[in-house]
């Protein structure tokens, strides 16, 4: 009992020290908005993270409380809904993260696509939830290292994210030396140029020319029609509940043909989500017929 009283007192002290009060009603309102707009099921345990991220917006807008801020979001005053989405979403990424996926792309998928698409001379890739661009640029490097002989082919990478801030970073293609520390030195020399400050590097135009960066909320309408040969959707669906996972993966399946591939993150699975794909590797799935 004494421990419970201490915890209650500590929580009260923390609330007193806060710049803003995040009431239970406001937090539940935020959770509903996140579910409706982003499809993300926000756990109760994320309350402190939400406070930390959204309090910056209250400060920027010179608002006194979360209730006033949520009125701005719900009315989308001055595009505040986009700022809200940018603040809530998480972006952890790196070049060639989960490297076995890129090995599979180079060694198995690209040779198969070269054979199967020889008539259309077309390849399409989608990086869904591309964050600051490391994933689509990694895909582009693998493509140019392995299919440079396919002159005249129509090869494109679509890279999408809901967060306009990270997309601006991705389009810029400027990365600190620290972000590139684990990149193979030969790739660093081949695909990046030192920036003027000698502490950053920019991606070469050859990579940029393959990629189209677009804002996309997976909960909204999708403009692309397919077919898309390979979809990278890694560490994205883990934030959705099972119902929304089924909806998103089902829509991806419509964009793919038999034997096209969907690649998920290391902790993601299609078990009880979709029967339209067969697991053929470590979180690598092949689209089934029908």
- For 274, how many CA atoms within 13 A lie in the half-sphere containing its CB? 26
Do residues 117 and 148 lie in contact, with contact meaning Cβ atoms separated by under 8 Å?
A: no
Positions marked active-site: 53, 161
Helix, strand, or coil (residue 37): helix
Dihedral angle computed from the Cα positions of residues 223, 167, 72 and 32, in that order, rounded to the nearest 10 degrees: 70
Helix, strand, or coil (residue 249): helix
Which candidate, 203, 178, 199, places its Cα nearest to that of 188?
203
Which candidate, 67, 75, 119, 109, places its Cα nearest to that of 232?
109
Structure tokens given for 284: 């690598």
Please tell me the distance from the alpha carbon of residue 79 to that of residue 66, in angstroms, as a whole number.
Answer: 17
Please tell me the distance from the alpha carbon of residue 284 to that of residue 270, in angstroms, as a whole number.
Answer: 10
Residues whose CB falls within 8 Å of the CB of residue 278, separated by 6 or more in sequence, listed in order: 285, 286, 288
């Amino acid at each position: 009992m004494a421990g419970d009283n201490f915890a209650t007192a500590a929580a009260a002290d923390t609330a007193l020290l806060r710049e803003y009060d995040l009431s239970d009603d406001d937090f539940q309102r935020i959770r509903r908005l996140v579910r409706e707009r982003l499809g993300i099921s926000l756990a109760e345990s994320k309350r402190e993270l939400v406070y930390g991220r959204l309090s910056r917006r209250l400060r920027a807008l010179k608002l006194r409380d979360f209730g006033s801020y949520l009125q701005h979001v719900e009315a989308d005053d001055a595009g505040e809904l986009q700022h809200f989405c940018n603040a809530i979403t998480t972006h952890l990424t790196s070049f060639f993260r989960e490297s076995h996926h890129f090995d599979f792309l180079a060694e198995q998928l690209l040779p198969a696509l070269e054979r199967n698409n020889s008539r259309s001379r077309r390849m399409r890739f989608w990086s869904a939830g591309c964050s600051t661009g490391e994933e689509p640029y990694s895909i582009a490097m693998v493509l140019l290292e392995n299919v440079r002989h396919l002159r005249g082919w129509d090869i494109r990478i679509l890279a999408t994210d809901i967060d306009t801030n990270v997309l601006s970073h991705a389009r810029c293609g400027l990365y600190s030396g620290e972000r590139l520390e684990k990149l193979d030195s030969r790739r660093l020399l081949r695909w990046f140029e030192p920036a003027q400050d000698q502490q950053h590097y920019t991606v070469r135009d050859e990579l940029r020319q393959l990629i189209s960066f677009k804002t996309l909320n997976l909960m909204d309408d999708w403009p692309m029609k397919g077919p898309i040969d390979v979809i990278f959707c890694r560490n994205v669906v883990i934030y959705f509940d099972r119902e929304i996972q089924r909806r998103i993966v089902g829509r991806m399946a419509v964009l793919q043909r038999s034997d096209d591939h969907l690649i998920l993150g290391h902790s993601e699975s299609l078990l009880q989500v979709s029967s339209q794909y067969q697991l053929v590797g470590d979180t690598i799935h092949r689209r089934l017929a029908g």
